[in-house]
Amino acid sequence: MRPEGHLDKARAFEERAARWESARDAPSVIEGIFDAMIHYVAYAINVKYSKDIDSHTAQKRFLREMKETDVLGSYESLEQIRISSVYGGSWNGDRIKKAMARLKEIKKWTDKAGK
């Protein structure tokens, strides 16, 4: 996918995730935040390193290899929120806020890569 396609999808997932009504929405909202992250990271890797990597496993490996430790830490933190919220029993509005905070950190890295 072209970088702009990743950015458009990331924004669409993020916009949808911002519209939630109750803590019961947390698993699907956090899944959307995670999907937004995947596309923001794919965009940044594409523009910064000229690689199209949209698998979260491959992205983590690539970020580790490139020593992108700051974004990798935010990435893995959001991944853990997703696992505990989507597959586990920990879901509430506070977890959505934590996931959005991690996404914000990732977007800062993405913005730098795009300039």
Please give the tally of structural domains in the chain: 1
Please state, as a whole number, how many other Cβ atoms lie within 10 Å of the Cβ of residue 21: 8
Q: Which residue has the higher pLDDT, 92 or 44?
A: 44
What does pTM read for this prediction?
0.93
Which residues form the domain of 50? 3-113
First to last CA, the chain: 19
Is residue 11 exposed (0-12), middle (13-18) or buried (19+ Cβ within 10 Å)?
middle
Q: What is the CA radius of gyration of the chain?
A: 13
pLDDT computed for residue 67 by the predictor: 97
Distance CA 106, CA 103 (A): 5
Per cent of the chain over pLDDT 70 is: 100
